Structure 1
Amino acid sequence: MPPHPPKNPSSPFSSFSGHHVGIRVPDYDAAKAWYMEKLDFRVLQEWPYGELKLAYLCPPNDDNFHVELLAGPVPFPNEVLDDLGVSLQHGGYQHMCVHVDDVDEARAELASRGVDLIGEPFEIEDISRRLAFFRDPWGNMIELSQKLPGAGS
């Protein structure tokens, strides 16, 4: 990866930083259990919002990134796709990405936990990453990203 462009502290948006990604699911208890049992996520906070149940979930060793579950009836569910290439033809949310030290080890553990894996791992030299994809039971895709040896930031 190339060096990042210079930061812009004079921007009126200079306080922007990543916090969470929201994932809409039909079943709160099942989704919370899946993220906790399959990915070892931790529950930070739970609260109601109208007819929905919401929660912030944190990865096992990261307090700065959250998945926000937004759960309740879903009158317009997304199509569940089995192919990364086909998924790239759809507009809107495509996936969230989590960094891992070893894509193959993480993928093997996901497989042992019965997680739906999508395709095979692959490398993109332009971004110095090894990648693999899987999905939750509601079709939300998640990318595993490993920095290739010798890669910069």
Structure 2
Amino acid sequence: MPMPAHPPKNPSSPFSSFRGHHVGIRVPDYDAAKAWYTEKLDFRVLQEWPYGELKLAYLCPPDDDNFHVELLGGPVPFPQEVLNDLGVSLQRGGYQHMCVHVDDVDAARAELASRGVDLIGEPFEIEDISRRLAFFRDPWGNMIELSQKLAGAGS
């Protein structure tokens, strides 16, 4: 089933300049996280800077300059629970995952597996949104979704 057309844009909104820019991910070990995202996912380091006791960085996907992951690294007094099940994660409030588009979920997932990335469950399709999806997580339990547009899908 193709996605419906987007609702009309609202250029008169005082928030019409809103655009996606980055998602922030809090990690206990900045250097390990930077290495994981750059080595396992081929992210590129755009900028690094200190903020108080933390080390921060903007990382960009391999071929996208418009979306960033902001790493916020330093000791975490209240680490999140690492979950092994997508369904269980949906029972929690707050941050759930970030999503990246891929051309082929299965090929991306196979490459992640070859790099030792922790995969969660099996790929699945949701016809209501015309997507094939799969999940994996970083070593600190932050879930990342792979999303592939199904053939014949609209937006």
**What is the TM-score of this pair, normalised by structure 2?**
0.98
Q: Please state whether the residue corresponding to 1:97 is helix, strand or coil.
A: strand
Superposition deviation, residue 37 in structure 1: 0.3
Query: 1:9, CA displacement in angstroms?
Result: 0.3
Q: Percent identity?
A: 93
Spell out structure 1 runs of 4+ moving beyond 4 A: none
Deviations 1:128-151 (A, max 9, x none): 000000000000000000000000
Please give the alpha-carbon distance, in whole angstroms, between the structure 2 residues aligned to 1:83 and 1:2. Answer: 30
SS of the residue 2:36 aligns to: helix
Q: CA deviation at 1:81?
A: 0.3
Aligned-pair CA distance for 1:71: 0.4
Instruction: Give the match's secondary structure for 1:68.
Output: strand
Offset at residue 78 of structure 1 (A): 0.5
Q: Give the Å deviation of 1:14.
A: 0.3
Q: CA deviation at 1:109?
A: 0.1
Residue 38 of structure 1 deviates from its aligned partner by: 0.2
What's the CA shift string for 1:3-54, capped at 9, x where partnerless? 1000000000000000000000000100000000000000000000000000
- Greater relative CO, 1 or 2 (CA 8 Å, sep 6+): 2
Cα distance in 1 for residues equivalent to 2:106 and 2:23: 24
Runs of 5+ unmatched residues, structure 2: none
- Offset of 1:89 from its aligned partner? 0.3
The CA deviation at 1:119 is 0.1
Counterpart of 2:55 in 1: which secondary structure? strand
Structure 1 counterpart of 2:144:
142
Deviation digits for residues 41-74 of structure 1 (CA, Å, limit 9, x no counterpart): 0000000000000000000000000000000000
Number of aligned positions between the proteins:
153
- 1:80 deviates by 0.2
Counterparts of 2:23 and 2:32 in 1: how far apart (Å)? 18
Give deviations 1:70-122, integer Å, cap 9, x for gaps: 00000000000000000000000000000000000000000000000000000
How many Å separate the matches in 2 of 1:23 and 1:29?
Answer: 13
Distance 2:146 2:77 in 1: 30
**Whole-angstrom distance in 1 between the partners of 2:86 and 2:5:** 28
